[in-house]
Amino acid sequence: MGDKTSGVDFVAGFIVGALVGAAAALLLAPQSGEETRVLIHDKGIEIKERADELGVDARRRAEELQDKVKQAVEEGKTAAGKTKEELLTKVDQAQPTDEAPSEA
C-alpha cells in the first residue's frame, strides 16, 4: 500500500511543481497579458497531457508489480507445499512402528 501512496504523492508533487515553475516563469517573463494567457493555457494543456501519461504509466507499472507479487506468492506456496511433504515423509520414517511385540 505504501507504493500506491508514494506514486500518487509523486504525481501530485510533479504537477504542483510544474504549475509553480510555469507560474514563476510566466510572471517573470516580459510579455503582454494576452501572450501570457495563451502561454498559460498551452502549458496547462501540456501539463494535463503529461499527467495523463504518468497516470497510465503508473497504472501499468502497478499492474506489472502486482503480477510479479502474485507469481512470487504462488511460487512460495508451491515451495512450502513441497517442503511440508518432505518434512512429513521424514517424520513418518523417523517414528517407530507399533509392530514391536508387547511385553506381557
| Residue-by-residue pLDDT tens, the chain, 104 positions | 455 667 778 888 888 888 888 778 777 777 777 887 888 889 889 888 988 888 888 889 999 999 999 999 999 999 999 999 999 998 888 887 655 555 54
Instruction: Output the pLDDT for position 67.
Output: 94
Instruction: Output the pLDDT for position 3.
Output: 57
Instruction: Output the pLDDT for position 1.
Output: 46
pTM of the full structure = 0.48
Contact call for residues 36 and 29 (beta carbons, < 8 A): yes
